[in-house]
Amino acid sequence: MRRVSGLAAVAASIAVLATTLVGPGTAVAGEDLKSTDTIAGIVPEPDLPQLNDPNCKLTESHPLPVVLVHGLGATARENWNFFAPYLAAQGYCVYGRTYGQHPFWPGRGGVKPMETSAVELSKFVDLVLAHTGAEQVLMVGHSEGGIMPRYYLKFLDGAKKVRSYVMWAPPSHGTNLSGFAEIRYFFPGWQGYMEPYCGSCPQFMPESDFIRRLNSGDETPGATKYTVLATAYDQAVTPVSTSFLSGAKNILLQDLDPTNFVEHVGMAWDPLTFQLTLDALNES
């Protein structure tokens, strides 16, 4: 009994660490684009009127909507509190929804298995397309949002609906969390104990079935334009080279600005990340 309790505690501890990849928050519920219902969380979720603005109209300059996909443990409005207003100020219509919620982590997203979250994303993209009348979207994802949508693109016919996909610090080939994840080898059956706490967490491991399937064959399928942005100071997605994809435009921030010391979470408010993302979207 003591061993089982210990394994459960380790699983819960890793889940807590993993949810810090972007941070906690509260979650938007409902099926409409502008739902304001929330689940109580650790911190108040920011008011973000630029996200899912029902009055935003596509323009000749920006004819495609942008779908933003948050990271593990975050919510849409929290993760994009800075970037959504930035994009809206450039004339884009911006959309996002908290996905992958589980009762064990009230107010946090991305904790369900990524295959399940990819189905949620597929439905949301269709909702955005129906609302805007566009035939495709542009997509930006942070952390888990830089890997889960690849399942949608590759296996759920999403590549036809996504013109360009910009990934911030994605664990494309898995992450060892700066070595912390290696402790799982000391606990046989670790994955079975982890999954009830965080279904997506074992999927981030480099040898997971999800990672192997996602990277089998073409890593960047379809006509979608793929861009990867990574930082040398990332301590959550390690080694940093694990982010880069064959067939993508891979950019290490410090190759462009050696004085940029942004880490994993900080990409959510980093000016260089914003500018490079905007460049990629404008080129689409």
Q: pLDDT by residue (tens digit) across 82-131?
A: 999 999 999 999 999 999 998 887 788 999 999 999 999 999 999 999 99
pLDDT in the model for residue 198: 80
3-state SS of 51-85 is: ECCCCCCCCCCCCCCEEEECCCCCCHHHHCCCHHH
pLDDT in the model for residue 184: 53
What would the pLDDT profile of 152-195 be if each residue is shown by its tens digit? 999 999 999 999 999 999 999 999 764 445 555 445 665 566 66
For residues 218-236, give the mean pLDDT: 97
Look over the chain and give the mean of its residue pLDDT values, rounded to a whole number: 84
Count of the separate structural domains present in the chain: 1
Which domain range does residue 229 map to?
Answer: 2-282
- pLDDT over 70 percentage in the chain: 77
pLDDT in the model for residue 17: 40
Q: Is residue 24 over pLDDT 60?
A: no
Q: d(Cα 245, Cα 261) in Å, to the nearest integer?
A: 23
Q: Is residue 13 over pLDDT 80?
A: no
pTM: 0.84
| Inter-residue contact 73 to 21 (CB < 8 Å) | yes
- CATH number, position 35: 3.40.50.1820
Closest to 243 in 3D by CA, of 264, 268, 222: 264
